[in-house]
Every structure is written in structure tokens, then in C-alpha cells.
């Protein structure tokens, strides 16, 4: 091969490398408008009083992308995968419908962030047009929920203080508490009532019998507003409001 031929091929290779470099640089500075791969886990329970009507991120519905992640009996998680940019969780809208056949007089729902390599869950409160704890839903009524800006800012700051990145965290949507006009409450698949012997104590009404230790481990105390159980070390508080007919 003649020297000029080699020089031409070498020059062409240099041009290709330079072109690829500038193409990559442009994509870093101007990422795809669709964004990166994101995901949201959704807690599921067999006796849920609220039905998911729609789930939107940045104005686009991702409900059709929801798939079963796992099931353990009636409980488990679903997963929605979608493309969006960083801080997508600031633009989430969740619409739910009361399918319980009963009047709901308050509820609580959260996004939980679990940073990579961290055992700690960071909670972000969701809100409607007013505080969810004071929301009344007749059977068939719907409610739209978004993140509470103050709660989100505090959670993001705490995650960063612990060395984490909220955009790399596993995010889970959870309906925690639903209160009914008959004085009963629903908590993650379990029904609760006030202990008639101890009015400041909530006890489970299970579909199956529980041991005394299980009841003790799952005590919900209205006075302290704290769930004394597996999540207690993570500082996750659950507000409980006694209701009357």
C-alpha cells in the first residue's frame, strides 16, 4: 500500500474519532428529550380500599406500563418503567378512586426513597387539594394526589446529607392509612379498630388469628402517632385520626 493511501486512511480514522467525540459531547449537554430510564414501585394489597385510576409523570400517563413485580399472597409490588429526566418525582400525579363501598374520612399516602446501599427509607408526604387526613370520599369519589413541596425538599436534603442521590434511589408509592366513617381504619392490608379497653390504642382485625407477640409488635398508638414496628427505626410516622359516624 502506497504511503499516500495510508495517510488518507489514517486521516479518515481521525475524522471519525473526532466526529464521534463531538457527537457524544452534544448528547451529554443536550440529553434526549425523553430522558433516562426511570421506575416507580407501587405497593399492592388484596383488600385495597382505593383503586388506581391514573398515574402521570410530567403530564404523561404511565399507568399502562405498570407490571407485576412480585406477589406474596395478597400483598406485593407492581413496577412502572418509563423515561423521564432527573427529579421526575417532582412532577408525579396519582389519581385514585374509593372502591371500598364505605365513606372515607381521611387517608395518608407517601413516596418512599431508598438510596443505593442505604437501609434507611426517606418519606415524602402526598397531598390533594387539601390535606389528605381531612379528605372525605364517598364511594366512587376520586382524588388526585401530588407531592407536598415542603416534605419533598426536606427528604431530598436529608438524602443528600446522608451521602445519597435522590435520582438514583428506589422510589415506592404507598397508601399507608385509610380512615372510615364507622371508626375503623385500614393500614397496608390490615383493618384496625380502637381497643375498647385502651382507647388510645389501635389493634389489628386480621383475616387470620395472630399471636400476642404479633399484636404487640404491630401496635398503633394514637397518642404518639407512631407505628411501633419494623419501620420505627426509620422514623416513619403514621398519623391516625379517630373518626365518628
Q: Do residues 243 and 183 make contact, with C-beta atoms less than 8 angstroms apart?
A: yes
Counted domains in the chain: 2
Give tens-digit pLDDT for 203-238.
887 544 334 343 333 333 333 223 333 332 222 233
Of the CA atoms within 13 Å of residue 139, those in its CB half-sphere come to 4
Could you tell me the three cell numbers for 180?
372510615
Question: Are 9 and 66 part of one and the same domain?
Answer: no
Question: Are 6 and 62 part of one and the same domain?
Answer: no
Would you give the distance in Å from CA 45 to the centre of its chain?
Answer: 14
Q: Do residues 99 and 88 make contact, with C-beta atoms less than 8 angstroms apart?
A: no
Question: Are 136 and 179 part of one and the same domain?
Answer: yes
Question: Are 1 and 61 part of one and the same domain?
Answer: no
pLDDT of residue 210: 38
Give tens-digit pLDDT for 102-149.
999 999 999 999 999 999 999 999 999 878 999 999 999 999 999 999
Question: Are 73 and 19 part of one and the same domain?
Answer: no
State how far the Cα of 44 lies from the Cα of 173, in Å rounded to an integer.
Answer: 10
Mean pLDDT over residues 13-28, rounded?
Answer: 45
Question: Are 196 and 211 part of one and the same domain?
Answer: yes
Question: Are 178 and 135 part of one and the same domain?
Answer: yes
Question: Are 25 and 86 part of one and the same domain?
Answer: no
- What is the residue range of 21's domain? 1-30
Q: Do residues 188 and 43 make contact, with C-beta atoms less than 8 angstroms apart?
A: yes
Q: Do residues 42 and 78 make contact, with C-beta atoms less than 8 angstroms apart?
A: yes
**Model confidence band, residue 6 (pLDDT cutoffs 50, 70, 90):** low
Q: Between the CA of residue 93 and those of 138, 196, 199, 233, what are the distances in Å?
A: 21, 39, 36, 29
State how far the Cα of 29 lies from the Cα of 175, in Å rounded to an integer.
Answer: 38
Residue 22 has pLDDT above 60, yes or no: no
Question: Are 11 and 79 part of one and the same domain?
Answer: no
Question: Are 2 and 52 part of one and the same domain?
Answer: no
Amino acid at each position: 500500500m502506497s504511503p499516500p493511501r495510508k495517510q488518507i486512511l489514517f486521516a479518515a480514522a481521525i475524522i471519525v474519532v473526532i466526529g464521534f467525540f463531538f457527537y457524544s459531547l452534544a448528547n451529554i449537554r443536550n440529553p434526549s428529550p425523553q430522558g433516562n430510564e426511570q421506575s416507580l414501585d407501587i405497593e399492592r394489597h388484596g383488600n385495597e380500599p382505593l383503586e388506581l385510576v391514573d398515574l402521570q409523570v410530567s403530564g404523561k400517563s404511565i399507568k399502562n406500563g405498570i407490571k407485576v413485580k412480585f406477589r406474596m399472597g395478597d400483598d406485593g409490588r407492581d413496577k412502572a418503567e418509563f423515561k423521564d429526566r432527573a427529579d421526575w418525582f417532582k412532577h408525579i400525579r396519582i389519581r385514585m378512586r374509593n372502591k371500598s363501598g364505605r365513606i372515607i374520612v381521611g387517608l395518608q399516602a407517601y413516596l418512599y426513597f431508598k438510596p443505593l446501599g442505604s437501609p434507611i427509607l426517606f418519606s415524602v408526604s402526598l397531598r390533594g387539594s387539601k390535606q389528605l387526613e381531612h379528605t372525605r370520599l364517598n364511594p366512587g369519589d376520586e382524588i388526585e394526589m401530588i407531592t407536598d413541596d415542603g416534605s419533598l425538599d426536606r427528604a431530598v436534603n436529608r438524602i443528600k446529607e446522608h451521602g445519597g442521590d435522590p435520582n438514583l434511589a428506589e422510589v415506592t408509592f404507598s397508601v399507608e392509612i385509610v380512615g372510615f366513617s364507622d371508626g375503623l381504619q385500614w393500614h397496608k392490608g390490615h383493618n384496625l379498630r380502637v381497643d375498647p379497653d385502651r382507647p388510645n390504642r389501635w389493634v389489628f382485625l386480621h383475616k387470620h388469628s395472630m399471636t400476642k407477640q404479633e399484636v404487640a409488635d404491630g401496635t398503633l398508638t394514637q397518642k404518639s402517632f407512631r407505628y411501633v414496628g419494623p419501620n420505627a427505626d426509620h422514623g416513619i410516622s403514621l398519623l391516625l385520626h379517630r373518626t365518628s359516624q
